[in-house]
């Protein structure tokens, strides 16, 4: 896709691969490429699930601080929205997404991991939001997605202190969903999303929209949103196939339509 972000597709799974050595710092160029690849995986029907991956050594150690240090308020007022939008586009990919975390996922790297539906971490991984040590706060979802994921008290602990957490603590507080040996992270991530490759793509899309959208609504509005998405699925081929297969007591053959 670009100089620093590649899209590799195999067997229905798209791997978004960061490749900006040594630490995959999320500079302006990387942010733009992430937004482009988010659009690519969203609209490519051959891609049924997605893995976010930084390679064997590091996921992403944060923003490019040297680049940011030269910016004043006026510059960052314009750039902050672009960064937020880039990661938000990834969060809105209407397909199952898992982040495969090796090494460090700090600052913007942790915020990138938070855009995924699940996170698989190496047993020696470190995660955190250390922006407070630079005199700023997380600016690409770290105060919002993190609080929704682990709760406000734990999010405040991580954001106020800027401390790093190891994989086991991240698992205990719900920041990651699985911890595996470092050499097995990518394969574990693939295994997590592989079952969805031949699943009912429109129903999976609706489920993600219902859950993520409903979190922003009160209960009554969320229930209405869910009902609309539920009813819309009765116009899909996979709904017909799924129910016919159930009645016939056979395995459904979903096409994603």
**Average pLDDT of the segment spanning 213-221:** 95
Query: What pTM was computed for the model?
Result: 0.94
Q: What is the pLDDT of residue 80?
A: 85
For the chain, percent of residues with pLDDT exceeding 70: 100
Q: What is the pLDDT of residue 83?
A: 86
Same fold, 5-196 and 201-248: no
Q: What is the DSSP string of 118-151?
A: EEEEETT-EEE-GGGGGTS---SSTTTHHHHHH-
Write down the mean pLDDT value for the chain.
96
Whether 12 sits among the annotated catalytic residues: the reply is no
Q: Rounded to whole angstroms, how far apart are CA atoms 129 and 158?
A: 6
Whether 131 sits among the annotated catalytic residues: the reply is yes
Strand partners, 7: 16
By residue count, the chain amounts to: 257
Q: Are 86 and 35 in contact (CB under 8 A)?
A: yes
Whether 111 sits among the annotated catalytic residues: the reply is yes
Sign of the C-alpha dihedral, residues 127, 129, 135, 136?
Answer: positive
Q: What is the pLDDT of residue 79?
A: 84
Look at residue 1 and tell me whether its pLDDT is greater than 70.
no
CATH architecture for residues 201-248: Orthogonal Bundle (1.10)
Q: Is 38 helix (H, G, I), strand (E, B) or coil?
A: helix
Catalytic residue among 14, 54, 108, 139: 108
Q: Is 79 helix (H, G, I), strand (E, B) or coil?
A: helix
**Average pLDDT of the segment spanning 89-101:** 98
Whether 38 sits among the annotated catalytic residues: the reply is no
Catalytic residue among 125, 131, 141, 155: 131
Q: Rounded to whole angstroms, how far apart are CA atoms 257 and 248?
A: 20
pLDDT band at 78 (very low <50, low <70, confident <90, very high): confident
Q: In what order do the strands lie in the sheet with 104-106?
A: 104-106, 126-128, 164-166
Catalytic residue among 25, 63, 170, 206: 63
Residues near 120 by beta carbon (within 8 Å), at least 6 away in sequence: 98, 99, 100, 101, 176, 177, 178, 179, 180, 185, 188, 189, 192
What are the residue ranges spanned by the domains of the chain?
Answer: 5-196, 201-248
Q: What is the pLDDT of residues 154-195, one digit of tens each?
A: 999 999 999 999 999 999 999 999 999 999 999 999 999 999
**Average pLDDT of the segment spanning 15-42:** 96
Q: What is the pLDDT of residues 60-72, one digit of tens each?
A: 998 888 888 889 9
Q: Are 106 and 65 in contact (CB under 8 A)?
A: no
Choice among 55-64, 106-115, 128-137 with the minimum mean pLDDT: 55-64
pLDDT band at 230 (very low <50, low <70, confident <90, very high): very high
Q: Rounded to whole angstroms, how far apart are CA atoms 101 and 74?
A: 34
Apex CA 96: angle with CA 159 and CA 143, to 5°? 15
Q: Rounded to whole angstroms, how far apart are CA atoms 193 and 135?
A: 38
Catalytic residue among 38, 109, 111, 155: 111
Query: Based on the number of CB atoms within 10 Å of its own CB, is 66 exposed (0-12), middle (13-18) or buried (19 or more)?
Result: exposed
Look at residue 34 and tell me whether its pLDDT is greater than 80.
yes
Residues near 33 by beta carbon (within 8 Å), at least 6 away in sequence: 1, 2, 3, 4, 5
Report the CATH number of the 5-196 domain: 3.90.226.10
């Amino acid at each position: 896709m670009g100089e620093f972000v590649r899209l590799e597709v195999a067997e229905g799974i798209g791997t978004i691969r960061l490749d900006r050595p040594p630490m995959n710092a999320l500079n302006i160029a990387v942010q733009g490429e992430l937004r482009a690849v988010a659009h690519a995986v969203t609209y490519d029907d051959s891609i049924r699930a997605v893995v976010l991956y930084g390679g064997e050594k590091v996921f992403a150690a944060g923003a490019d601080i040297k680049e940011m240090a030269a910016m004043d308020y006026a510059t960052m007022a314009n750039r902050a929205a672009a960064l937020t939008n880039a990661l938000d586009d990834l969060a809105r990919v209407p397909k199952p997404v898992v982040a495969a975390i090796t090494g460090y996922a700090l600052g913007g790297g942790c915020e990138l991991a938070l855009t995924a539906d699940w996170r698989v971490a190496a047993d020696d991984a470190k995660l955190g939001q250390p922006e407070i040590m630079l005199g700023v706060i997380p600016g690409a979802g770290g105060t919002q997605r993190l609080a929704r994921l682990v709760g406000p008290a734990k999010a405040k602990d991580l954001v106020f202190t800027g401390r790093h957490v190891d994989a086991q603590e991240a698992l205990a507080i719900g920041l990651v969903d699985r911890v595996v040996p470092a050499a097995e992270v990518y394969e574990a991530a693939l295994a997590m999303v592989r079952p969805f490759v031949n699943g009912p793509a429109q129903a999976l899309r609706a489920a993600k929209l219902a859950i993520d959208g409903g979190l922003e609504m009160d209960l009554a509005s969320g229930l209405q949103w869910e009902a609309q998405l539920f009813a819309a699925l009765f116009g899909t081929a996979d709904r017909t196939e799924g129910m016919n297969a159930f009645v016939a007591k056979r395995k459904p053959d979903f096409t994603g339509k």
